[in-house]
Amino acid sequence: MSMLFSPYRLGPLELTNRIAIAPMCQYSADEGLATDWHMIHLGHLALSGAALLIIEATAVTPEGRITPDDLGLWSDAHLEALKPVIAAMRRHSPIKIGIQLAHAGRKASSNVPWEGGANIHPDQPRGWQTVAPSSVPHAEGESVPLALDHEGLQRIKQGFVDAALRAQQLGLDAIELHGAHRYLLHQFLSPLANRREDDYGGSLENRMRFPLEVCEAVRAAVPDLCVGMRISATDWVEGGWDVEQSVRLSHELEKRGCHFIHVSSGGVSPLQKIPVGAGYQIVFAERIKRETGVPTIGVGLITEPQQAEHVLQSGQADMVALARAMLYDPRWPWHAAAELGAQVAAPPQYWRSQPRQYKTLFGETRLGQR
């Protein structure tokens, strides 16, 4: 029996299989408001057969957007814009829906990738002043962020809480806090970005303090929702954040009721040297799972069904998440189920697409339907 297509539980969340669709920024919002692109994009991914879809990095404050075109959830207007998208997915798919709540910190105020992705200085059109743990730019020539004071920290933490409450109001099933990929919570964790000399900088305990406070506050605000965190397990830079510190962080997150760790890597420094290859980040998920027992989601160039199955069968992770592979093949779970001899959920409008050689792919009870 395929482990990839076996049920799994993330805290309070029951999942029909172990495939998640990782959050993927679309840079297609209008002042943070969801648009018809989100209806099309998320709608077709909801029909994929995966058990969990996590909506893209969604800013909790206006200055927390990566680009001016990022999705946001900092007001009730943003909630209302997402409502019809969520409702449409619910009508036509059993997929569980999560959302990644994020603040970009010093990597905010950037152009969209297809326009180069460069930093937009505050005095340029569509640019704004960024904030960060310390007044240290990501790279030479980029705008210098303002170091957050106590009031700024509390404002952003409240932004995460308010966005989590709106996610609950939308009826979403899970929240993923973005603590990876060079964004604000990761910036607090990494000594490469965090040069503070107060209670939020210096020692590992201090650098973990703000991300842990955000996790605690969100868990308290939405105690019945599944809440996890995506982390960069290593900066891939000497003297930066590493897997040993990630294990410590995972232990502390577990104490605060975190239901899963979504394990990625890199992003905080242009000096990073990443040995990219198939499943190159799975070793980090495996170590965190082994040393903490916290459910882990493995990600990173997982493209083949047998590869995903091996990750689970060998105990390297509890779930796998796909991103670009899912964009390239939005029916990846269908094809994986066919290859592994499993079944997958599909809408009745598509049942007739079932190839004859996979006659039970969509379930025995659906045979003979016209």
- 3-class SS letters over 319-369: EEEECHHHHHCCCHHHHHHHHHCCCCCCCHHHHHHCCHHHCCCCCHHHCCC
Would you say 233 and 190 are in contact if contact means Cβ atoms under 8 Å apart?
no
Q: Give the SS3 label for residue 251.
A: helix
Helices 282-292, 243-255: inter-axial angle, 10-degree rounding: 50
Select from 85, 127, 140, 134 the least CA-distant residue to 269.
140
Centroid of chain to Cα 181? 10
Would you say 301 and 276 are in contact if contact means Cβ atoms under 8 Å apart?
yes
183 is catalytic: yes
Would you say 354 and 361 are in contact if contact means Cβ atoms under 8 Å apart?
yes
Both tokens of 209, joined, read 């303090």
Q: Which listed residue (183, 328, 350, 358) is catalytic?
A: 183
Would you say 70 and 31 are in contact if contact means Cβ atoms under 8 Å apart?
no
C-alpha–C-alpha distance, residues 316 and 310, integer Å = 8
Would you say 194 and 201 are in contact if contact means Cβ atoms under 8 Å apart?
yes
Would you say 177 and 101 are in contact if contact means Cβ atoms under 8 Å apart?
yes
**To which residue do tokens 């943003």 refer?**
78
Catalytically active residues are 183
